[in-house]
Structure 1
Amino acid sequence: MHTVAVLALDGVIPFDLATPIEVFSRTRLPTGGAPYRVRICGTGETVHAGGFTLSPPWGLDALATADTIVLPGRDELRPIPDEVLEALRRAAAAGTRIASICSGAFVLAATGLLDGMRATTHWAAAAELAARHPRVQVDPDVLYVDNGQLLTSAGAAAGLDLCLHLIRRDHGSAVAAHAARLSVMPLEREGGQAQFIVHDQPPAPRGSILEPLLSWMEEHCADDLTLRDIAARAGMSTRTLNRRFREQTGTTPLQWLLRTRVRRAQHLLEATSHPVDRIARQVGFGSPTAFRERFRRVVGTSPHGYRTAFRTP
């Protein structure tokens, strides 16, 4: 039987802790047998998890006998005990599979095991993870990353995606599909977490000469604007405009315009029943095909998929 050790540290997020316990405990083989044994491990007698405490039945020594270790999300500002990092490094050296959910990636990254690897976490914490661990290649757009022995996932719901992925790796699609049905969850979701990211535009510094230009671009984003049009409005050459934009917003005028159009399209997809072709025209894309391609590139899913997930009744 495969032993899954779920490591509960102070500050653990209750949902992230419950997800692997629930999913792996309820998984069944075609014969009816249980393929996983789940153990909750901790560093002490009690662990503080939100508004309650729990008493892990196993200590860190149980990590040495686990086949898979799951690191649930926790408050990333809390310090990580050195004994935890050492136990995880020893387990990895012995070949144990380690997976993190949400901000649990901060614990895994602190071991140094993710250095040079691609990883993910909740999109709202991705920049902080990248800043703290610059040797980790943080991808904020995906639901999970599978590096073989080491795996990371995005927010709480993506932890469920990751658990189902592990079950499929271990026992095939049929067993994983059954586990997904028990969780009332599709075995695979369309798109990544990019569709959940709020794409706020980088603001220009207060008093910047770009402020009136940005307002004008937002008002006219549905027009067929070219870089030359924007430069003429600003009274600059295209080269100077690109340089000023990069200096003050971190992006180019056309990329800024694209994100403005996509953000407006997201609002229309959520709040109206307008056909996708009409929305493409309303937000300034030259054709429905171009709209679909660029929307998917920015958001990570199709306009139809986005509307299905986020449309307000």
Structure 2
Amino acid sequence: MLKTALLLYPDINPFHFSVPYMAFQEAAEDGLFDVKIITPTGKPLKNNMIQPKIDGGLALLHECDIIVIPGWADADTRPDAATVHALQTASQRGAYLVGLCYGTYALAYAGVLDGKKAATHWLGGDDFSRRFPAVSLDINSIYVEDGNIITSAGTAAALDCCLYIICKFYGVKAANKAARVLVVPPQREGGQAQFIEQPLVQSTKDRQINTLLNGLRDTLHLPHSIDSAAAQTAMSRSTFTRHFKKATGATFLDWLHKERLQRSLDLLENTSLTIDQIAERCGFQNTVSFRTQFYRYYQVQPNVWRKHFGGV
């Protein structure tokens, strides 16, 4: 049996705690995990959360194979010094450290993620990268394993991550059994993209570029190139490229791809058009090109996106 610690901390979100608790407790029923509930002090938290029996404090981490931090209440708050030391010690001896959703922040504050790849909820991506430049953040993946550190994105991805851990140590059969009892699909692959909302630049401080952008949005189905766009603004190719990047923060082709893909999302979600028809209306040269670009940005195929978000 793998000794697995779930760390309760002040102001923890009970729902975030319930995800790994239910997943590992279910596997514990089959004798796979010995689940320990710990707090930094070894005593129940002083909040209104209905808490399971507390098994002890940080000293228990010395004997645990897996240590799970379910979320983190405040991105501005560092774990206390004793918790940081316990996590560092556990990492040094090779225990698996698991940060679910914003639990990745706690591991990063402890310094155990330096030089490693990690995942967290996409909403925290920019903030996390600013705070922890030594960590290679993978904002697309729903969970990431790097050495003895496993981190995940948001709540649903946290459950996928827990099922992955069960599968990693005890195989697909054990993970699938836990998934069936929890009434969820078998875990998704870690490389599957988070469904991230990516707002597009609607206007810029450059009126000439704004006029061009509005015209391009109205004619996405037509072929466009850097040269044709530069001609519309009466600029040379090099001058246009410089002005466009300064105004939008993107290259012309990258902007055009994203606008076309954004239009395709609307058509996938709100129409019954075929994939071929959507590709044509969004200005892709052919359906293969559309599928390739779509997968590049979203890590799923267009029909999978429609299955998840289609309302027609």
Q: 1:204 to 1:83 in 2, by over 3 A?
A: farther
Q: 1:55 to 1:178 in 2, by over 3 A?
A: closer
Q: How far off is 1:130 after superposition?
A: 0.8
Match of 2:59 in 1: 61
- Is 1:212 the counterpart of 2:211? The answer is yes
Q: How far off is 1:46 after superposition?
A: 4.2
Q: How far off is 1:250 after superposition?
A: 2.0
Q: How far off is 1:191 after superposition?
A: 8.0
For 1:43, give the aligned amino acid.
Answer: P
Q: Distance in 1 between matches of 2:8 and 2:30?
A: 27
Contact 1:123 1:193 in 2 (8 A): no
Q: Distance in 2 between matches of 1:255 and 1:176?
A: 40
Q: Distance in 1 between matches of 2:116 and 2:292?
A: 29
Q: How far off is 1:38 after superposition?
A: 1.3
Match of 1:231 in 2: 230
Q: How far off is 1:190 after superposition?
A: 6.6
Contact 1:242 1:253 in 2 (8 A): yes
Q: 1:181 to 1:297 in 2, by over 3 A?
A: same
Identity %: 33
Q: Deviations over 1:231-261 (max 9, x none)?
A: 1112212222222222232210111111111
Q: Distance in 2 between matches of 1:82 and 1:152?
A: 21
Match of 2:20 in 1: 20
Match of 1:162 in 2: 161
Q: Deviations over 1:18-60 (max 9, x none)?
A: 11110011126xxx732112122112444377x7464761222
Q: 1:126 to 1:84 in 2, by over 3 A?
A: same
For 1:23, give the aligned amino acid.
Answer: A
Match of 2:138 in 1: 139
Q: 1:52 to 1:116 in 2, by over 3 A?
A: same
Contact 1:73 1:102 in 2 (8 A): yes
- Is 1:42 the counterpart of 2:39? The answer is yes
Q: How far off is 1:64 after superposition?
A: 1.4
Q: How far off is 1:228 after superposition?
A: 1.2
Contact 2:7 2:38 in 1 (8 A): yes
Contact 1:265 1:283 in 2 (8 A): yes
For 1:170-249, list aligned pairs within 5 A: 170-189=169-188, 192=191, 194=193, 196-202=195-201, 205-206=204-205, 208-249=207-248
For 1:107, give the aligned amino acid.
Answer: A
Q: Figure out how many residues of one structure are paired with residues of the other and give that number.
A: 309
Q: Deviations over 1:68-91 (max 9, x none)?
A: 001111232333212111110011
Unaligned runs of 5+ in 2: none
Contact 2:78 2:109 in 1 (8 A): no
Q: Deviations over 1:82-118 (max 9, x none)?
A: 2111110011112211011111101111111111111
- Is 1:77 the counterpart of 2:76? The answer is yes
Q: Distance in 2 between matches of 1:20 and 1:78?
A: 22
For 1:93-108, list aligned pairs within 5 A: 93-108=92-107
Q: Distance in 1 between matches of 2:84 and 2:306?
A: 42
For 1:13, give the aligned amino acid.
Answer: N
Farther off after superposition, 208-217 or 296-305: 208-217
Q: 1:194 to 1:169 in 2, by over 3 A?
A: closer
For 2:157, give the aligned amino acid.
Answer: A
For 1:182, give the aligned amino acid.
Answer: V
Taking structure 1 as the reference length, the TM-score comes to 0.92
Contact 2:101 2:121 in 1 (8 A): yes
Match of 1:10 in 2: 10
Contact 2:206 2:247 in 1 (8 A): no
Farther off after superposition, 114-123 or 204-213: 204-213
Contact 2:79 2:110 in 1 (8 A): no
